Structure 1
């Protein structure tokens, strides 16, 4: 049993921390991390709850492979009701925090209520206590982590915290661990802030005991690590270039959303690409990229550690940003760059550092700035309202708006509400590039049709990680499909969605799925976990988790009309590239997808489907 078999329930209102046995019947049906945490959440929380009220709960959860020698076994998940979307929020993070939770002897932490004053949870093996965090309130994630380590006199403590964004209820505030890894999307940091919970600090020295068949587990994990090492994406592309390897690839195929999705190709993509991060700057003859980095137990090491040009206008006289720190990933580089027409790599890195420092999602932030810049160019928003000129392409505007949003100043407060609320307020809801209120990631669904259905049906709002059909449509993994056609995409999306739920619930990184299928994960779970873990059982489990999330959303008031794309993607054809002249065919794909899922044409799981899945 790779589970610790216990969870910690933290009632922030009363200040109590109580250990409980893990529901092992549920663990057999939902495995761990995303699946099991969601099962607990939907069983305990009213779907109609206000996300920022004390009645909402927030769960941090590991999977059975978290903390083990399975490659990428460092993930943990945060599940709550999201303030950005009003839907189920499930945000996943790497780094070392998840493994530390397992080493301390816990599978899950459930936070309830609201503390009367700022606190942080300190969890050292079996000892749990809420400590005063009044002195940390109003400070950054970076300062919080450093201060807690100093106070506890333990540099090995692992810390997850919120910055000013979470405190100020920026609706895309995130939870940052290990300085630059984050449970990044859907506003989980705003929920944490609403509870007056500043941080969680973990120290575990127990290790992971109880793997069912250690000999078999060691053998199978070694075999599967070799599969990752031998794969072109996980063994070569990601270690060398990180996720940024995609910038030029997606731009060339005409799928890089540019200037708030007005265009599908960015003329300066090369300047903000992975290759550009490797090039030496004329100013100091040093590359942007210092090294790659890995999360706990990861053999891929796609993380970027970068250094900003000390002479760049964003950081002159700001030495706190000069050191090597978390570098640009593809999604962030796109959202801060192409989405706004900004081709200044250093300005992107500066905005990204602010997102890490104060805990906000760079995807939603950057995409919201794209909407602001379009409204500015239309004359709907003025310099007086925003506080600065904000045309597309302005690195100065990007940097200043990042500061304002991170610190909750001036117009930054409006950006912090996300593009759906902002665009609606200023009379142009159609300019918000969102589904269910969550901003799109870095793929234009006119050029990559399957991603349109992926975004529209994602349970947590627009998301690429719930069904990364880019793998198939662009990279040919596991099979190549034509990105320009809707044919076969409902089957592809459903298959990716169900499989990803299994990867997430096991406690491993979805990037392994560039080389692995569920058939590679199954023997690792089988060797680690008691019970029978056949392929049939895992496939059914993935589908069960997806439908459980859908049930919660339906009960929360989301309907078929929320499974849709903005008018721009359905009525304004791509202007350039291979997809020139195309719009997204969501209206054709959605009914087929519902039928495949065993849902009504209103998007509600039928009684037969629920019965088959044991829901």
Structure 2
């Protein structure tokens, strides 16, 4: 079977590292990664725990397909209780780190307690030890990773680490691996920092040698790769343009949240789009985009590598930012750009580099900038408080705020609270475009009704990756549904949410779901793990994971009132575009969603649903 069969338990308080056999009964019920890690977490941690306390735990986990030849089999998940939301936090990353942990012979690492001093975990196959991190504490991710490789004299070590924002408790700080891949949302980096844990460095040379039926697995993986290659999104759009292919598409649909969701279309969208990234600049004749890049085992290669204009005001006399680096994804380009009315592509790239360098979620950061700019234009915040004039559209303000947030200096400390706490502090909580304290991604929940319901019901706070109904509502995958319709959206969303949980648990990238259904995933999981993992069983596993996460949130104190959208989306209609005049239909959809889920009218899991799912 494709699990390594063991986990590493690290007690940071006592400094011990112990191997434990993986609970294979749980593995059969929750598969791996997001599912299995959440099972361990919810069994071991009180839902009422303070996310930044010693009692909280944090888990890195792979899936059974992680490290195999399954396309995109490089994913890993970080599970904890999130400081931004107080809800279950589960953040997913690609790159190469997840596969390396599997190659070292581990399915997951559980951290508990708090180290009395800064440390990092070094794992080399079966050997694991906590080492002094004084020499890297206070350093950025970009300085931490090469410093660890140099210390151990091994350039093939893979590093998952936090920057200064995680150390300083920025509530939406990320965990970064391979310099620009990140477990980006919900503040998992802040939990890591609260434990004085700087990094996990892994070197594995074992490979994945325990696939149940290697011949059948190779055949299933090969067929699944053909499906990806032949699909318009995974075989053409994402390799050519990355996720940024969506910028102009979503703007034309009239669903691009602009200036803190006051508008739904951005007049500067074309200037920050995938097409703009690929067009030679007037200043030097070179395109912003250098090439695409793939994570471990990926045949899609949606990642962007970009090179900033060396004459831009942000990087003059700062050569450390001149090289080719991780480029803009759609969500980051939106959050740093349209959300704030900024159409300066180079400024967006610079702010994105700062987020990568110091481990900050660009979605929450950019959305918090949007709230600050609105407060500034209202006269609630001043230049003296912020440190710069900050109207919508100011590239200078965006970049200034990125730098002071990364360093937690001055107003940057307030930025580190996220938009919910910041707007509450200044008396305008309605200006936070968030659910459960986590900010919206790059789709307007009025114009695209299914994703609005998805934001409201997501277990980790507002999120598009927990049920990407955009695939159906905009792209027509697997069937086309009308974005502004509310009918059928609760059923559609549940199907997406459950399937997504199964994809995550397997250890593969959710982008494969543009082409794959569980009919493509099941043969791979069956060949790797066992015949019992049919489409029906994977669907049930996905539903079980979703309800397990919901159950944790209920025990943490969340109620129906938390499955809500901001007043702006409920009362202020879209001003332009095909959906002009539309507001969210959440009030109509939510009761039906609860029924479809097998929950009561208050959003609590019914006893018969618990029994059916084995919770």
TM-score bracket, shorter-length normalisation: over 0.9
Q: Tell me the SS of whatever aligns to 2:123.
A: strand
Residue 200 of structure 1 corresponds to which residue in structure 2? 200
Q: Is the 8 A contact 1:28 1:531 kept in 2?
A: no
2:8 alignment partner in structure 1:
8
The equivalences for 1:121-160 within 5 A come to: 121-160=121-160
The match for 1:191 is: 191
1-structure distance, mates of 2:552, 2:90: 12
For 2:301 and 2:492, locate their aligned partners in 1 and report how far apart those are by CA, in whole Å. Answer: 28
Contact 1:160 1:199 in 2 (8 A): yes
Residue deviations 1:373-414, cap 9 Å, x none?
000000011111111110000000000000010110100110
Q: Report the Cα offset of residue 530 of structure 1.
A: 2.9
Query: 1:288 maps to what in 2?
Result: 288
For structure 2, which runs of at least 5 residues remain unmatched after alignment?
none
* Distance of 2:158 and 2:572 partners within structure 1: 47
Instruction: Tell me the secondary structure at the aligned position of residue 20 of structure 1.
Output: strand
* Number of the residue aligned with 2:479: 479
Q: Which whole-Å CA distance do the structure 2 matches of 1:229 and 1:535 have between them?
A: 22
**C-alpha separation in 2, matches of 1:586 and 1:608:** 26
Matched, 1:264 2:267: no
In 1, Cα distance between equivalents of 2:242 and 2:258: 21
Provide the alpha-carbon RMSD of the alignment.
0.4
- Which position in structure 1 is the counterpart of 2:395? 395
Q: Does 1:500 align with 2:500?
A: yes
Distance 1:159 1:108 in 2: 15
| Contact preservation (8 Å) 1:390, 1:397 | yes
How far did 1:531 drift? 5.0
Q: Distance in 2 between matches of 1:181 and 1:584?
A: 33
Structure 2 distance, partners of 1:595, 1:613, is 16
- 1:364 paired residue number: 364
Structure 1 match to 2:510: 510
The aligned runs of 1:10-25 (5 Å cut-off) are 10-25=10-25
- What residue is the counterpart of 1:115 in the other structure? 115
Aligned residue for 2:352?
Answer: 352
Q: Deviation string for 1:41-83 (max 9, x for gaps)?
A: 0000000000000100000000000000000000000000000
Q: What is the 5 A alignment of 1:34-45?
A: 34-45=34-45
- Rounded to whole Å, the distance in 2 between the matches of 1:554 and 1:312 is 49
Distance 1:199 1:509 in 2: 23
Equivalent residue, structure 2, for 1:567: 567
In structure 1, the residue corresponding to 2:398 is in which secondary structure? Answer: helix
The DSSP-based 3-state class of the residue aligned with 1:244 is helix
Which whole-Å CA distance do the structure 2 matches of 1:535 and 1:245 have between them? 31
CA distance in 2, matches of 1:376, 1:581: 27
Distance in 2, matches of 1:241 and 1:77, equals 26
The more displaced of 536-545 and 40-49 is 536-545
1:579 corresponds to? 579
Report the Cα offset of residue 111 of structure 1: 0.4
Give, in whole Å, the separation in 1 of the partners of 2:538 and 2:226.
23
Residue 613 (str. 1) matches residue 613 (str. 2)? yes
Partner residue in 2 for 1:238: 238
3-state SS of 1:129 partner: strand
State the alpha-carbon separation in 2 of the partners of residues 40 and 419 from structure 1.
31
Match of 1:33 in 2: 33
Partner of 1:490: helix, strand, or coil?
helix
Match of 2:389, SS state, is coil
CA-CA distance at 1:359 after TM superposition = 0.2
Are 1:277 and 2:277 an aligned pair? Answer: yes
TM (norm. structure 1) is 1.00
* Match in the other structure for 1:417: 417
- Which residues in structure 2 correspond to 1:284-363 (within 5 Å)? 284-363=284-363
**TM-score, normalised with respect to structure 2:** 1.00
Deviation at 1:536, TM superposition (A): 1.6
Aligned to 1:64: 64
- Whether 2:450 is the aligned partner of 1:450: answer yes
Give yes or no for contact 1:88–1:460 (8 Å, CA) kept in 2.
yes
The 3-state SS of whatever aligns with 1:447 is coil
